[in-house]
Structure formats: C-alpha cells, structure tokens
Amino acid sequence: MNTKKWLAVGTCVSALGLFSACGDSGENGVTPVDPDPSSSSAIEPGSSAGDLQNSSSSTIVPTSSSDISNPASSSSNPEDVIANPDATYMGVSEIMYNAPDGSALEWIEVYIKSGPDVSDMQLSNLRLDGAVSFSFPSGKLAKGEYVIVTNDVDLFKKTYPTASCKVLGPWDKDSKTGSVAKLVNEGDVVDVKISGEGDVSAAFSNQPPWPSLANGKGRSLVYKGSGNEASPSSWGASAVENGNPCVGNDKIIDGVTVRLNEIKPYNLNAETDKDGWVELYNYGSAPVDVAGWELESKNKGKTWKVGGANTVVPANGFLLLPATADVFGDGLYLSDNGDEIYLFETSAGVRTGKESSLLLSAGKQSSGVVDVTGGATVQGTMATETPGEANSLLKAGPIFISEIHYHEDENNPNDLEFIEIVNKGTESVTLFESVNATSQGWKIEGVNKEFAATDILPAGGKMVLFNDSLSAKEALLRARYDIPEAVQVRFYAGKLSNRGETVAIKKPYAFTNKSDGTKQWYYELSDATLYSDRWTGLTDADGKGKSLNRKDFTTMGYESTAWQALTPTPGN
C-alpha cells in the first residue's frame, strides 16, 4: 500500500472527491525527517558481504536438501521472477519471533534480495510495517549485507556478542500499550517497504505447518531462499541453535518427505464408525517406514508412537492409519474441537527434529493439505473426505473475501486500498464468539483486524474495510465509492502488501491458558487467499487502477483462477 493517500487525509480533501492531488516529496507525500539519533543504535558492519541467505527444506512442502542457494537465483516458482532488474527488491532472511528460555528478545534480519545497493536507507524511505514499525536511519545498504532490526539492541548484543552487521532498533512503540511493540507469537506479517515496488511481505506463525522448533524452542525462522515469503513452505527452523544472525549461507533442519495429508477426528456422537484415521503421503522417490515415529496432539499434550502391521508409506503414495489401539497404542482419539497435530521422525527412539504438521480444524469433517500453484501447500477443512486418495478442495465459507484492492493507482490520489467481505450463507453471522464463557472476535489475518460483538453480517450482506487512518472519513468514503447505507464500513490497522501476502478470515473456536496468564487462541478458516502481483492475467490489479474481484466461491481463494481484475466496486 502506498501511504501517501493516508497522510493526505484531512489535508487534501476536494469538493469533487475524497482527495485531490497533493505535492509529493517522496512516497509518503512528506519530506523525510531525520529520526531522533537517540532512537536507534547500531553496530558498525564488519565483514557482512558474501553469499545471500540460504535454507534447504520445509517440513510440509516437497524439498530435497540443505544445499546452499542464492535467494536471487532463478527459480521455476513464478513468485521468484523479478519484474524490474534495475529496481531494488528487499527480502527478509531470518526472524526470531519467540526466543528460547523465555527471553524477550525479538529480531528481524533484512537484506537486498535483488537489484542495486541502497545509497541511503532513509532517503529511500526504507521501513518496516505490519507486525512492527520502524524507519531506517541514514546510511548505505549494500547487496550481500544483512541488517538486524530488533526490539532491544542491548539484549541483542549480549545474546550475540560476535554479530558483525548493522543492528538497529528498537522498533516503534505499540500505540495501545505505550511500550516497544512485540511480535505476536500467534503469527503476523512483517512488511519491508522501500520507495518504488521493491517491498516484501514476510509471514510467520506458531501454528502448523510452520516449524514448531522456531516457536520458543531455540531456533529462528529462516527463509529458504526462494518462494513467496508469505507462504510457510518458504521457511524452516534454523539448524543452528538460537539462530545465526548477520551470517549468510544459513541452513535449516531438513524436512521429511512424509507429510500429514489428511486427518479425520474421532466422532464422539456417532453410533458407529467412531474411530478416526490419519492419512500420510510420501512425495519422495523411495518408500519410508514410519514405525516408531511419534504423533503428538498439542491440545491434549499427548504423544503416540506409530505401530501396527503396515507402517511403510510407498513412494509418491498414501498410507491410511486407522486411529485404533493396534496402531496408536491406547487409541488415537482426537476430538472434533480442533487441534495441532505433529508427526515427528525418530531415530533409535529419539526425535531428529524433522517434522510434518497439520492444523486440525474444529468440526467433524476431516482436515487436510492441498497443493496450489507455485509449489505451496495450504491447509484447512476438506470439502469431501478422501482417505487414501488425493485430497479434494478445501471447504470455505460462509464468510468470503470478495474483493481486494491491494495496490492503488499511483497516478490517482483518490484511489484507496480496501478489502470487501461477503456472507454467502443463508443466515446472519455474528463475527464474535463466546468460547467457554470467554469472548473473542473473528479476525482478518494480514491486516490486523479483530471484529467486535456489534459486527454482524446478514445473509447476502457485504462489509467494506479500509485502513484505520480513514476512520473519521466514512461519509467521504461512502460518497467516493457510492457505498450503499446497508453495507457496513469498518477499518483495520494493518496494510496490504503491493507484492502479495496471505489474507484470511479466521473464526476462533478454542483457547489454552499459557503460563504467563495470556490465552493462546485457535482459529478455523472461513476463507483465505495468498494473492500475488505476478498472477497471470491479473497484473492490472497491481497499481493500474483495477482490483481483484472474486468470481469463484466454491472453495478458498488461493488460486488465481478464482479472481478477475476489474474496476473497484466496494460494497456494490
């Protein structure tokens, strides 16, 4: 999202539209101001040039090894094709969002993924947005150099005394708490923005299929070197304890070729066929014996060892394991309240660190993994159960994302980013839940939106959401887009990436109480997309005045075929 429209609100209002053109001294429409020198500190770079960040394989998507790779190298993944070789494209190479041993330290490692050096980070308007905010100070950023941005510079220096790259921070304070902002362990999106089209959105999460070892267990989250940074398939847990900041060629823990492909929960209310099942898929070229591997339920805090007469998953094939005592000891009875399920490889009875995982959605229908274009995988409730076979479409609804305007027309100051959602069901939906006498709103992941008890979407009804910097301008927004009074207008705190990111509508269904007194909430998806500015046939939505309009509501909106590029029509 280009921020100049936000900053213009209230200062460039015209009688004919929401905005008139304003003087533009930079991408944000204002002359850059030198930051307070006391707000940042830095460790001068040592020898930081060298190979770009590497990784090897994820625990859920087909990958092969831990060989070193160059993030800027060619790839069959369309997300890796650089649109303009003369422009600087930023990257996020490593994230520590939940440090081990209860440490409060958090950090993000950024670098130039492709293109020329940045002669001055401040003049180029280099900044972090999304999960945390930070404006980079004046100074050069060279290709091959890594920069750490952290919540606590002193703690970072103490934890990594030999780190030899620029270390900047702390990032901005949270407006709600007045303290330095924190990365939410549940997951969020880190946007690295730079003037022009070189920004990147990097996601992280502590839920499947993201690697569990990066969630407070001594590892950082490392970018594999290729693929969409918003996809979990592009990340892995660091092979080095506590991560490896400021150093390239980072390796990650190899993944297994066997993945949890589909799980049917135990149906407590059924008269017959009470047992569920676990389906494994081996995308490797050799059979794999999973005897003795461990299956773990995070919600139950229980682990089962895989046994039985047949424990070999054939190459490029499936193995269906019934949730019975002969396979899983005392019986694998997973409730339909939802869960996080992990499959751990073991050697001589000890976990190797390699894993596969699946987020079991609430409900009696099975949950599974579906491969989508670009080499990524997505998870959710299955529309149809397919034990022992390739998975079907993901179940979606009743609340869908119906329109996304992620990149406004740079030549039209009246053009604004927004998201439109719609209720395709036959009954009203209150976007607020009560779970065990505890209330929690639905969320839109990717733009930091949590709904309130008053947010009710009627059957067939639409809701349009804008950035919250426009919250005082609802009347002007309605007039600008001719939004009917019956259509609700709401606001979100985040920003949509101009490159692409995951946007998901999530319904809370369960929580656990953490040792620090907070709650870990679990969500099921109503709809989701991983949009991209590289989608074939949809590039007119990338800053050329068009928006992504949904045309297929039969499953989640992950594929480009579910969308078309049309003139924005929010609420209509």
pLDDT tens figures, 165-185: 999 999 999 877 899 999 988
Once rounded to an integer, what is the mean pLDDT over residues 61-72? 28
Does some domain include residue 572? no
Please indicate, yes or no, whether residues 248 and 274 belong to a single structural domain of this protein: no
Give the three-state DSSP class for 400: strand
Mark which of 216, 235, 255 sits at the end of a domain.
255
pLDDT tens digits, 364-412 = 889 999 988 777 788 999 999 999 999 989 999 999 999 999 998 878 8
- Helix (H) or strand (E) segment spanning residue 168: strand 166-168
Report if residue 59 sits inside a domain.
yes
Q: Answer yes or no: do 88 and 196 share one domain.
A: yes
Residue 54 has pLDDT above 70, yes or no: no
Computed over its alpha carbons, how large is the radius of gyration of the chain?
24
- Per-residue pLDDT of 272-309, as tens digits, reads 556 789 999 999 999 999 999 999 998 888 999 999 89
Helix residue spans in 349-488 (DSSP H): 474-481
Q: What confidence score (pLDDT) does residue 40 get?
A: 33
- Is residue 3 one of the residues assigned to a domain? no
- Give the whole-angstrom CA distance, residue 59 versus residue 286: 17
Q: What is the pLDDT of residues 318-342, one digit of tens each?
A: 999 988 888 888 777 777 778 899 9
The reply to whether 391 falls in a domain is no
- Rounded to a whole number of angstroms, the distance between the first and last alpha carbons of the chain is 22
Q: Span 23-36, mean pLDDT? A: 32
More confident of the two residues 334 and 65: 334
Among 255, 286, 309, give the residue marking a domain's end. Answer: 255
Segment 517-540 mean pLDDT: 88
Average pLDDT, the chain: 82
Average pLDDT over residues 426-431: 98
Q: How does pLDDT run across 438-456, given as a tens digit for each residue?
A: 999 999 988 889 999 999 9
Confidence (pLDDT) at 572: 95
Could you tell me what percentage of the chain is helix, strand and coil, using 3-state DSSP and rounding each to the nearest 5? 10, 35, 55
Nearest to 193 by CA among 134, 153, 146: 134
Give 380's contacts (C-beta < 8 A, 6+ positions apart).
Answer: 359, 361, 367, 368, 370, 394, 395, 396, 524, 525, 528, 556
Q: Which residue has the tokens 């005897």?
A: 291
Do 88 and 229 lie in one domain? The reply is yes
For residues 130 and 245, membership in a common domain is answered with yes
Three-state SS for 38? helix
H or E element at residue 266: none
Residue 28 lies in a domain: no
pLDDT of 237 reads 96
The answer as to whether 285 is a domain residue is: yes
The secondary element (H helix, E strand) that includes residue 41 is none
B/e letters for 153-168, b = 16+ CB within 10 Å, e = fewer, are: bebbeebbeebbbbbb
Question: 521 with 221: CB under 8 angstroms?
Answer: no
Cα 401 to Cα 364: distance, rounded to the nearest angstrom: 24
The reply to whether 367 and 288 lie within a common domain is: yes
Residue 324's pLDDT is 84
Can you give the pLDDT at residue 518?
83
pLDDT of residue 364: 81
| Contacts (Cβ under 8 Å, ≥6 apart) of 140 | 117, 118, 119, 120, 121
More confident residue, 473 or 266: 473
Same domain for 475 and 494, yes or no, is: yes
Provide the 8-state DSSP code for 172.
P
Same domain for 482 and 514, yes or no, is: yes
Q: What is the b/e burial string over 551-563, where b = at least 16 CB atoms within 10 angstroms of the residue's CB? A: eebebbbbbbebb
**Number of structural domains found in the chain:** 3
User: Does residue 464 register a pLDDT over 70?
Assistant: yes
Based on the domain organization, do 170 and 309 belong to the same domain? no
Which percentage of the chain shows pLDDT scores above 90?
57
Tell whether the model's pLDDT for residue 29 goes beyond 50.
Answer: no
CATH code for the domain of 492: 2.60.40
Residue 286 forms part of a structural domain: yes
Query: 170 preceded by cis ω (within 30°)?
Result: yes
Identify the weakest region by mean pLDDT among 30-34, 191-195, 340-344: 30-34
Q: Which residue has the higher pLDDT, 59 or 218?
A: 218
Helix or strand or coil: residue 169?
A: coil
Please indicate, yes or no, whether residues 340 and 368 belong to a single structural domain of this protein: yes
Q: Which two tokens stand for residue 493?
A: 């705190």
Question: Domain limits at 281?
Answer: 258-381
- The answer to whether the bond into 398 is cis (omega within 30° of 0) is yes
Residues 461 and 354 in one domain: no
User: 11 pLDDT band (50/70/90 cuts)?
Assistant: very low
Q: Are residues 373 and 404 in the same domain?
A: no
For residue 74, with 0-12 CB atoms within 10 Å meaning exposed, 13-18 middle and 19 or more buried, which class applies?
exposed
| Residue 554 belongs to a domain | yes
Same domain, 212 and 290: no
Look at residues 221, 255, 289 and tell me which one is the last residue of a structural domain: 255
CA distance linking residue 273 with residue 325, whole number of Å: 15
Residue 47 has pLDDT above 60, yes or no: no
Model confidence pLDDT, tens digit, residues 194-221: 876 678 889 899 989 999 999 999 999 9
Residues 6 or more apart whose Cβ sits within 8 Å of residue 269: none
Provide the pLDDT for residue 125. Answer: 92
Phi-psi label, residue 230: left if phi above 0, alpha if psi -120 to 50, beta otherwise: alpha
For residues 233 and 482, what is the distance between their CA atoms, to the nearest angstrom?
40
